[in-house]
Amino acid sequence: MWLPKNERDLLTYYYQELKQTGVKGQFFLSDLTKCLRKPNVSKTKIQIANFTLDKRNLIALMPSQGDAVTLSLTLTGYDLGRKYSSWWSRTGLLFAEYKDHWFWLIVSFLGGVVGALIVNWLSKT
């Protein structure tokens, strides 16, 4: 499963933090804004990403306490977070999701060559 960037980064961060301590942890929204790669990520986007991860059954959200978010990783969330934390596994997920991209790349290249030959042939006549 290939997730959007915010969800992917959050799940990777949760995995890296929770693999040391266990399956349940508490995170502050101010710390989560720093873990994402974009400089100006709002807390609303993080809450939306958390809600979406919860709906996909990758994390289990506990009731929030102000700025703190308490959650635990599900088994599929733990496995997907492990795959996202490794570069080699992450590229394998990307290629598994978009497995037909090489086929369309070759077809479009051949189509461009054929189109150029047709235009060259038509310009000579």
Q: Say what the pLDDT of residue 35 is.
A: 73
Q: Report the alpha-carbon distance of residue 4 to residue 57 in Å, rounded.
A: 15
Q: Report the alpha-carbon distance of residue 9 to residue 34 in Å, rounded.
A: 11
Contacts of 65 (CB under 8 A, 6+ apart): none
Closest alpha carbon to 47 in 81, 6, 97, 89: 6
Confirm if 8 and 77 have CB atoms less than 8 A apart: no
Q: What is the pLDDT of residues 46-60, one digit of tens each?
A: 888 889 898 998 888
Q: Report the alpha-carbon distance of residue 81 to residue 73 in Å, rounded.
A: 9
Strand partners, 60: 72
Q: Which residue has the higher pLDDT, 3 or 96?
A: 3
Q: Whole-prediction pTM value? A: 0.67
- Domain 5-85 -> CATH class: mainly alpha
